[in-house]
Each structure stands twice: as C-alpha cells, then as structure tokens.
Structure 1
C-alpha cells in the first residue's frame, strides 16, 4: 500500500480507498518508493539477468526469519538498549555466500538435473515462468498441495532485479554482535534448505 499514496494531511477525514496494480502514482506529496523505483529503472537499464558478478561474487546478505525474530526479542528484553527512541540493528545471517554455491544444491534438493555450468546471462524468471500458472496448478493437484497461486509463492520480478543488480548490498553485524552480544548466526544455504523443508511440510511445494 505504501506504493500507492503519500502520507499527507489532513488526517481527520475518514476515507476508504481500494488500490489495484494499475493505479497511477499519487500526484501530491512525497513518496520514497517512487524515487526508489525510478532509481532502479535508471541503474538497471540495459542490464541482463544473472550478471557474472552476481553469480560468483558475494553481492547480498541473507536474513533468516528466525535470526530476525531472535534479534527483535533480544533488543526488546535488553534493558541497556531498549528505549522508546529505538535503535537500528542490521539483522543478517552473518556468514557470506554466493549464488554459485547455492543454486546447484537447490537443484539437487528438488531432484532436478544440475548442469556443470549453470550460469546464464539471458535467463529471466518472469519470462520463463510467468506463463506456467496452469502447469503449477496441475503440479499442486498431482502432489496433493494446498491451493495457491504461483505468484503467492515466488516474486519473479524481484528475482530478476536481485540477480542483475549492479550494486552490492552488504551489511555488518558489528553493532548487534558487540553492543549487546547477539551471537546467533545462520548459514544462508542451510536457512534456505530449512525453509524448503518447512514449506513441504505445510504442503505448499512438492
């Protein structure tokens, strides 16, 4: 919803608005998400999915939901840092990773054939998978899965942006580790495999 409007007064008027994806941008006020969207389009113009750098280099940090939850609990129950003003702490797994390490393991996890060279700079998730909605429904019925729409389980557009980003998005755990001794860490590969198993138990994926 933050994409569709800018927070601006007056706020004493009760109003109900229904937004759909085709809604145009708000004409008044300031919306950070418009700036972010324009910046991404500018930076990514002419780029292709799966750049070699994103494939072989450390480009982004992982954040397991369990790590994030535990860090929230630690921050909320630690009298030395808990305050109404609040503080910012990076909630990231810790150990770095590359997609080159992750994807072959994921392929084997799902029983797929894993080629020796998996990198492809012309593969787009949205293009390759977006028209497979009927196929997904057939798989769901065959495997006895809960009824879900494919887009509920995978944000294909986000993946295409993630794997062609010209910027490295890395953080540090220094403040969380040293200021209040938060020591929980998680290997991103193990995290992904854990959540795959969880989604299988919930009958969301085969």
Structure 2
C-alpha cells in the first residue's frame, strides 16, 4: 500500500487550514526504520519477469534497499507543502478519525486547484488490462 498519496491529502488539508502537520503514530513508529520501495522499480521488475524467458518459473524478491524513518519523511512532506509547524504528536489517532469532518475542506481544495476528486478504479483497471494486452504481456 502506498501511503504517500494519503499523506499528501492530509498535508494539503493541514496547509489549507493553517494547522500543524502532526504525525499521529506511536513513538516507536516515529523512530524506527522502515523499508521503502520504488513503484517504478517494482513495475520494471514485474515486466522483466513476464517477458524474459530466463525468469520463467523462478521466484524473485524486489527491493531497492532504501530505508526511512517517519521523522525524516515528515520534514520532507512539510517542506514540500510549505508547512513550518510539523512533527510528532504523541497521541495515536487514526487517519480516518483525523479526516472524518474534512470533506468540505477537501471540496474547497478541489475548487481552488482544479483537480479531480477521485479516479474511477474500474476504468483504471480496464485501462491497465488494455495496456498489458497491447504490450502482449497477457493474451
């Protein structure tokens, strides 16, 4: 699961409301190392596995070896959104709870910046199936 998109929405809402970008995870989560995977690298590896005959019937693990800490990522996220007040909150709160009343705020962001509210998952899935068929990855 890619959490960066979700965190960007959270950061955009914090920026819009002028509130701090606080991490509501545990202290352990804030300080521990996590593995980061580059989705483009994974996609390239998946294509290679499908099209290279030498990869047939083999097992692969794809990892680009990067690690991160949430406390380091939070600074990058805050900088990218121009938020000066950020950091560890100390109180664990779910993203669902944080965002439960932010629908109107998100609607304001949509109007201000002109982007779509969502991407239709079914259409997106069909588009990827069509691409894989066009590249002859699947019959």
Is the 1:104–1:114 Cα contact (8 Å) retained in structure 2?
no
Q: Which has more radius of gyration?
A: 1
**Aligned to 1:61, which of 9, 15, 35?**
35
Q: Report how far residue 109 of structure 1 moved.
A: 0.2
Which structure is higher in RCO with an 8 Å CA cutoff and minimum separation 6? 2
Match of 1:79? Answer: 53
Match of 1:106? Answer: 77
Q: Which has the higher strand share?
A: 2
Q: How does 1:100-179 map to 2 (within 5 A)?
A: 100-115=71-86, 118-124=87-93, 125-148=95-118
Match of 2:26? Answer: 51
Find runs of 4+ consecutive structure 1 residues off by over 3 angstroms. none
* SS of the residue 1:145 aligns to: coil
Q: Which has the higher helix share?
A: 2
Which ranges in structure 2 are unaligned for 5 or more consecutive residues?
Answer: 1-23, 122-139
Which ranges in structure 1 are unaligned for 5 or more consecutive residues?
Answer: 1-48, 153-206
After TM superposition, the score normalised by the length of structure 2 is 0.59
Give the total of aligned pairs: 96
* CA distance in 1: counterparts of 2:109 and 2:82, whole angstroms: 15
Q: Report how far residue 102 of structure 1 moved.
A: 0.5
RMSD, matched Cα: 2.2
Q: Report how far residue 123 of structure 1 moved.
A: 4.1
After TM superposition, the score normalised by the length of structure 1 is 0.41
